[in-house]
Amino acid sequence: MSATTHSPAPRRSPGLLGDKIFALLCKSAGIFVLLLLGAIIVTLFIGGLPAFQRFGLDFIISTRWDPVEGREEFGAAVAIIGTVLSSVLAIIFAVPIAFSIAFYLTELAPPWLKRPVGTAIELLAAVPSIIFGMWGLFFLVPLIQRYIQLPFGEVLAAIPLVGFIFDSNNFAGTSLFAAALVIAIMILPFIAATMRDVFDQVPPVYKESAYGLGATRWEVMRNVVLPYTRVSVVGGIMLGLGRALGETMAVTFVIGNANRMITSVFDSTTTIASVVAMEFPESLAGSPQQSALLALGFILFIISFVVLAISRWLLRPRLK
């Protein structure tokens, strides 16, 4: 019996209607994101333009913030510095802990413990920010005041050259330090989860080769895993920094919301997001106060853009 021959199925020609529709939808989604981003920028700039025109450069460098009708003087310096410092401190607190968690989950934890700990880290990201703020106000702030600021503040303040960073007369508890610590806890799951996922993507043969040469776990992490994943690790840190810059409610609870320039990490201050959240509902439409708040929003957008641009610039030689 002769074998029955089957002719191959005809190949579908490219450019079918379904493919064209799918390509159009994808292109439309990308354009929509750009248009939405542009609309946000334009809205904030137009809304804040009267404040920029009225105060000029003084709006950026001034520390005055007086919304009382008749005086209405506004300056963004305190909020800008509070935003940047709280975010940078949060990254300093969060990154070492996130790296330790990722290192433990990928290299040290037994298999039966990896999933529960990983799930707990991911669930931490689902906690609403206002819950972090309430927890920080009623639990973390008294803890910082009692066990960090009071016992160590005077000792650290006596250190030459840098002691002023810890010298403070604010004993209310709400402070830049408390805000940074709360933000660090909030961004910790994002950074840790990103590091854990990218560490798991390293080809096992690379690590096994290093172990075969007698390398320790830390040497494998430092010389093999981190160089292989550095782009993604920095991306995860930038993701956390972006979240830290825009955090609102949790920071509003614990930072003190005082419009004064800080001289210590234990001083009360404010951030751009906190000022907008506290005062925007009470501002009158078209008033100088509302224009100043929209200008603050525009400045926060620019800060976030600059941070992401710097991160891309730092990674550019490695991406070639």
Reported as a pLDDT band with limits 50, 70 and 90, residue 317 is: low
Q: For residue 63, tell me if it sits in a domain.
A: no
Specify the pLDDT at position 1: 46
State both tokens at 223: 């010389």
H or E segment to which residue 48 belongs: helix 17-55
- In DSSP notation, 218-248 reads HHHIIIIIHHHHHHHHHHHHHHHHHHHHH--
Query: DSSP letter at 174?
Result: -
Q: Which of 65-69, 81-85, 185-189 has the lowest mean pLDDT?
A: 65-69
d(CA 177, CA 166): 10
Q: For residue 246, tell me if it sits in a domain.
A: yes
Q: Cβ atoms within 10 A of the Cβ of 37, count?
A: 12
* Residue in this structure with the two tokens 């620019």, named with its chain if needed: 302
Specify the pLDDT at position 15: 57
Contacts of 314 (CB under 8 A, 6+ apart): 234
Q: For residue 307, tell me if it sits in a domain.
A: no
| CATH code (residue 270) | 1.10.3720.10
d(CA 166, CA 169): 10
d(CA 107, CA 172): 42
Q: For residue 247, tell me if it sits in a domain.
A: yes
The H-assigned helical ranges of the chain are: 17-55, 58-61, 77-103, 111-124, 129-135, 141-144, 150-157, 176-200, 204-212, 217-220, 226-246, 249-254, 272-279, 288-319
Q: For residue 56, tell me if it sits in a domain.
A: no
Specify the pLDDT at position 319: 43
Q: For residue 36, tell me if it sits in a domain.
A: no
Please, are residues 288 and 74 in contact by the beta-carbon 8 Å criterion?
Answer: yes
Please, are residues 255 and 163 in contact by the beta-carbon 8 Å criterion?
Answer: no
Percent over 70 (pLDDT), the chain: 93
Please, are residues 125 and 193 in contact by the beta-carbon 8 Å criterion?
Answer: yes
- pLDDT above 60: residue 293: yes
d(CA 145, CA 140): 9
d(CA 312, CA 314): 5
111-124 vs 176-200: helix crossing angle, rounded to 10? 140
Specify the pLDDT at position 123: 85
Predicted TM-score of the model (pTM)? 0.86
Q: Which domain holds residue 111?
A: 80-277
User: Which of helix, strand or coil describes residue 256?
Assistant: strand
Reported as a pLDDT band with limits 50, 70 and 90, residue 99 is: very high
- What percent of the chain is helix, strand and coil (3-state, nearest 5)? 75, 0, 25
Q: For residue 84, tell me if it sits in a domain.
A: yes
Q: Is 310 exposed, middle or buried (0-12, 13-18, 19+ CB in 10 A)?
A: exposed
Domains in the chain, number: 1
State both tokens at 28: 């439309």
Across 181-185, 210-214, 283-287, the highest mean pLDDT is recorded for 181-185
Q: For residue 49, tell me if it sits in a domain.
A: no
